[in-house]
Structure 1
Amino acid sequence: MRLLTALLGLTALPSALAAFPNVPFKTSKQWFVDSTGANFTYVGVNWPGAGDVMIPEGLQYASIESIVGKIKSLKMNVVRLTFAIEMIDDIKDNGGDVTIKAAFTKALGTKGDTVYQQVFDAVAAELSKQQIYVHLDNHMSKGAWCCGTNDGNAWFGDKYFNTEKWKRGLQYMAEYSKKWSSMVSIGLRNEYRKPDTAGSSLAYNWQVWYDQNVAAANLVNAANPNIIIFFSGLDFDTKLTPIPGAEDLGGGKKFEKSSFKYADKIALELHNYQTSATDCNSVKSGLWNNGFKALDAAAKNQMPVVLTEFGFSQADTTYNSVYASCLRKIIPEWKAGWTVWVIAGSYYIRSGTQDYEEVWGLLNHNWSGWRSTNAVNALKTMVDASFK
Structure 2
Amino acid sequence: MGRRLLLTNSFLFIISLLSFLLPSLHALPLSTNSRWIVNNTGQHVKLACINWSSHLELMVAEGLTKQPVDVISKKIKDMKFNCVRLTYPIYLATNKTLASQTVRQSFLNAGLSKFILADLQANNPSIIDLSLNDAFQAVVASLAKNNIMVILDNHVSKPAWCCGYDDGNGFFGDQYFNPKLWIKGLTKMAALFQENPYVVGMSLRNELRGPSQNTKDWYRYMQRGAEAVHKANPNVLVILSGLSYDTDLSFLRTKPVSLSFTGKLAFEVHQYSFSAGLDWKTKNANQVCGNMTNNLMKNAGFLLDQGYPLFVGEWSVALSSISQSDTKYLNCLLALAVEHDLDWALWTLAGSYNFKDGILGKNERFGLLTQNWTDVRNKSFLQKISVIQSPLQGPETSYRQSHKIIYHPSTGLCILKKPVMGIKLGNCSESDHWTYTPQYTLDIEGSYLCLKAKGLNRRAKLTIDCQRRGTTWAPISASKLHLATRLSKNTTACLDVDSDYNLVTATCKCLRSNDTCDPGSQWFKIADANDFYY
Specify the TM-score bucket, using the shorter chain as the normaliser.
0.7 to 0.9
* 1:83 corresponds to 2:84: no
What is the aligned partner in structure 1 of residue 375 from structure 2? 369
* 1:270 corresponds to 2:279: no
The correspondence for 1:354, drawn from 354, 360, 370, is 360
Alignment-mate amino acid for residue 22 of structure 1:
A
Unmatched runs of 5 consecutive residues or more in structure 1: 1-6, 196-202, 248-253
Taking the aligned partners of 1:15 and 1:348, their CA distance within structure 2 comes to: 31
Give the Å deviation of 1:237: 0.3
The correspondence for 2:251, drawn from 228, 242, 247, is 242
Asked if the contact 2:87–2:154 (Cα under 8 Å) also holds between the matched residues in 1, the reply is: yes
Taking the aligned partners of 1:21 and 1:165, their CA distance within structure 2 comes to: 35
Taking the aligned partners of 1:141 and 1:96, their CA distance within structure 2 comes to: 13
Q: Pick closer, same or farther for the CA change 1:317–1:386 going to 2, 3 Å.
A: farther
Alignment-mate amino acid for residue 206 of structure 2:
N
Give the Å deviation of 1:16: 8.2
Secondary structure at the residue paired with 1:230? Answer: strand
Asked if the contact 2:99–2:131 (Cα under 8 Å) also holds between the matched residues in 1, the reply is: no
What is the aligned partner in structure 1 of residue 146 from structure 2? 130
Give the Å deviation of 1:84: 0.2
What is the aligned partner in structure 2 of residue 250 from structure 1? none
What is the aligned partner in structure 2 of residue 295 from structure 1? 304
The correspondence for 2:109, drawn from 77, 89, 106, is 106
What is the aligned partner in structure 2 of residue 72 from structure 1? 77
Deviations 1:313-346 (A, max 9, x none): 0111348711111122211220210000000001
Secondary structure at the residue paired with 2:208? Answer: coil
Give the Å deviation of 1:70: 1.5
The correspondence for 2:33, drawn from 23, 28, 31, is 28
Taking the aligned partners of 1:16 and 1:218, their CA distance within structure 2 comes to: 29
What is the aligned partner in structure 1 of residue 482 from structure 2? none
Taking the aligned partners of 1:241 and 1:367, their CA distance within structure 2 comes to: 38
Taking the aligned partners of 1:238 and 1:180, their CA distance within structure 2 comes to: 31
Q: Pick closer, same or farther for the CA change 1:150–1:376 going to 2, 3 Å.
A: same
What is the aligned partner in structure 1 of residue 194 from structure 2? 178
What is the aligned partner in structure 2 of residue 200 from structure 1? none
Give the Å deviation of 1:385: 6.9
Q: Which moved more, 1:212-221 or 1:376-385?
A: 376-385
Q: How does the TM-score come out when normalised to structure 2?
A: 0.63
Q: Which moved more, 1:10-19 or 1:329-338?
A: 10-19
Structure with greater strand percent: 2
What is the aligned partner in structure 2 of residue 251 from structure 1? none
Q: How does 1:39-78 map to 2 (within 5 A)?
A: 39-78=44-83
Give the Å deviation of 1:13: 6.4
Give the Å deviation of 1:349: 1.5
Taking the aligned partners of 2:323 and 2:243, their CA distance within structure 1 comes to: 27
Deviations 1:123-151 (A, max 9, x none): 22222222110100000001010001132
What is the aligned partner in structure 1 of residue 346 from structure 2? 340
Q: Which moved more, 1:135-144 or 1:368-377?
A: 368-377
- What percentage of aligned pairs have identical amino acids? 33
Taking the aligned partners of 2:269 and 2:137, their CA distance within structure 1 comes to: 27
Taking the aligned partners of 1:53 and 1:240, their CA distance within structure 2 comes to: 32
Q: Which moved more, 1:209-218 or 1:113-122?
A: 113-122
Q: How does 1:309-324 map to 2 (within 5 A)?
A: 309-318=314-323, 321-324=327-330
Taking the aligned partners of 1:260 and 1:88, their CA distance within structure 2 comes to: 24
Taking the aligned partners of 1:168 and 1:318, their CA distance within structure 2 comes to: 43
Alignment-mate amino acid for residue 255 of structure 1:
P
The correspondence for 1:164, drawn from 167, 180, 186, is 180
Asked if the contact 1:144–1:351 (Cα under 8 Å) also holds between the matched residues in 2, the reply is: no
Q: How does the TM-score come out when normalised to structure 1?
A: 0.86
Give the Å deviation of 1:82: 0.4
Secondary structure at the residue paired with 2:334? Answer: helix
Alignment-mate amino acid for residue 84 of structure 1:
P
Secondary structure at the residue paired with 1:24? Answer: coil
* 1:214 corresponds to 2:223: yes
Asked if the contact 1:210–1:255 (Cα under 8 Å) also holds between the matched residues in 2, the reply is: no
Give the Å deviation of 1:12: 3.6
Alignment-mate amino acid for residue 242 of structure 1:
F
The correspondence for 2:313, drawn from 295, 308, 314, is 308
Taking the aligned partners of 2:271 and 2:225, their CA distance within structure 1 comes to: 25
Alignment-mate amino acid for residue 332 of structure 1:
V
Give the Å deviation of 1:118: 2.1
Taking the aligned partners of 2:391 and 2:231, their CA distance within structure 1 comes to: 36
Q: Pick closer, same or farther for the CA change 1:52–1:16 going to 2, 3 Å.
A: closer
Taking the aligned partners of 2:204 and 2:26, their CA distance within structure 1 comes to: 23
Give the Å deviation of 1:66: 1.2
Q: How many residues align?
A: 358
Answer with 1 or 2: which has the greater Rg.
2
